[in-house]
A = this chain, B = another copy of it.
């Protein structure tokens, strides 16, 4: 085996955008920025240790930690005395809506797998990492985990049984704005109606099919037309000040489309080039300046690689 006890590797675990407007619970996209930096050490004891490098109040009990819970599942499946010590430099703000908990979970399992000589498939890693999402949100979901591990755009066709499909997608620019308010994933889930109108569901699946077809055929206009959500967005956007204005101004600035990232509060917009993505950022900033709400915005691109093991 390449690695021995006490060897340490570092990984970058990227932020992700879940749902992609019309693909609630089934689609996600990986971002090039921001990234958590994680150091993972191979131990010769069946235990998991978690450190927070920068004072974020992450749970130190590994079973309650989004990086720890997946690793506990992994070492319980392994024979013998293997464990991991993880140090997390949290760069992706928890609660921002761009997959902070998923990054910790995905980064931990990709790093651990690398130390073990890559014995697990990406689908196995998603299966482990979902235990982190269960700790974080109470629900095993993969729409941040899967793009974080696979990179690019991923479809979670089914959770039980797990069926993940990598969707080839063009290189697009992504503008993200994070208004500094708190939206709890649990709350954002609870306000959704348990039933939806069939006619709305039909519109939604037309858009999902259009979005997948647009990604796979590099049809940017089709992507733009399909980034429409008649079911989740009308409910959840109420929780996010400035939503309608951000969307309108971003599209006026040339964005293909976009909406709420995951359960928010971050909003994202896809653009065909950097110039447009920058103009979208200016428009977003302007909306929050006028409202007088603190915000953080940035322009990035789609990360085609997912969690990255850094040069050792």
> Which of A's residues lie within 8 Å of B, judged by CB?
22-27, 155-158, 163, 165, 167-168, 192-199, 201-213, 216-217, 222, 225-226, 231
Closest to A214 in B: B165
User: In the complex, what distance in Å separates the CA atom of A211 from the CA atom of B204?
Assistant: 15
Query: A193's closest neighbor in chain B, by CB?
Result: B198
Q: How far is the CA of A156 from the CA of B157 in the complex (A)?
A: 21
Docked complex Cα distance between A156 and B27 (Å): 20
Shortest Cβ gap from A205 to chain B (Å): 5
Q: Would you call A202 and B25 a contact (CB within 8 A)?
A: yes
Q: Which residues of B contact A193 (CB under 8 A)?
A: 198
Cα A212 to Cα B205 with chains together (Å): 11
| Shortest Cβ gap from A20 to chain B (Å) | 10
State whether A155 touches B213 (Cβ < 8 A): yes
Pairs across A and B, CB under 8 Å, 7 listed: A26-B206, A27-B209, A155-B210, A158-B206, A163-B210, A163-B225, A213-B216
A26 proximity list for chain B (CB < 8 A): 202, 205-206, 209
Q: Is the CB of A192 within 8 A of B196?
A: no
Apart from A157-B210, A165-B210, A165-B213, what 5 extra A-B contacts exist at CB < 8 Å?
A25-B206, A26-B209, A168-B217, A208-B208, A216-B217
Given contacts A192-B198, A198-B193, contact A157 B217 (CB under 8 A): no
Cα A213 to Cα B193 in complex, Å, equals: 29
A157 neighbours in B (Cβ, 8 Å): 206-207, 209-210, 222, 225-226
Contact A198 to B195, CB < 8 A, known contacts A158-B203, A205-B23, A210-B155:
yes
Assembled-state Cα–Cα distance A199/B208 (Å): 16
Residues on B with C-beta less than 8 A from A158 are: 203, 206-207, 225
Which residue on B lies nearest to A192, using beta carbons?
B198
Q: B212–A209 contact, CB under 8 A?
A: yes
Taking a contact as CB atoms under 8 Å apart, the answer to whether A196 and B201 are in contact is: yes
Is there an interface contact between B216 and A155, defined as CB atoms closer than 8 Å? no
Q: Which 10 A-B pairs have the closest CB atoms?
A: A157-B210, A195-B195, A201-B201, A157-B206, A26-B206, A216-B216, A212-B212, A205-B208, A209-B212, A205-B205
Question: What are the residues of chain B within 8 A of A155 when measuring CB–CB?
Answer: 206, 209-210, 213
Per the bound structure, the CA–CA distance linking A202 and B208 in Å amounts to 11
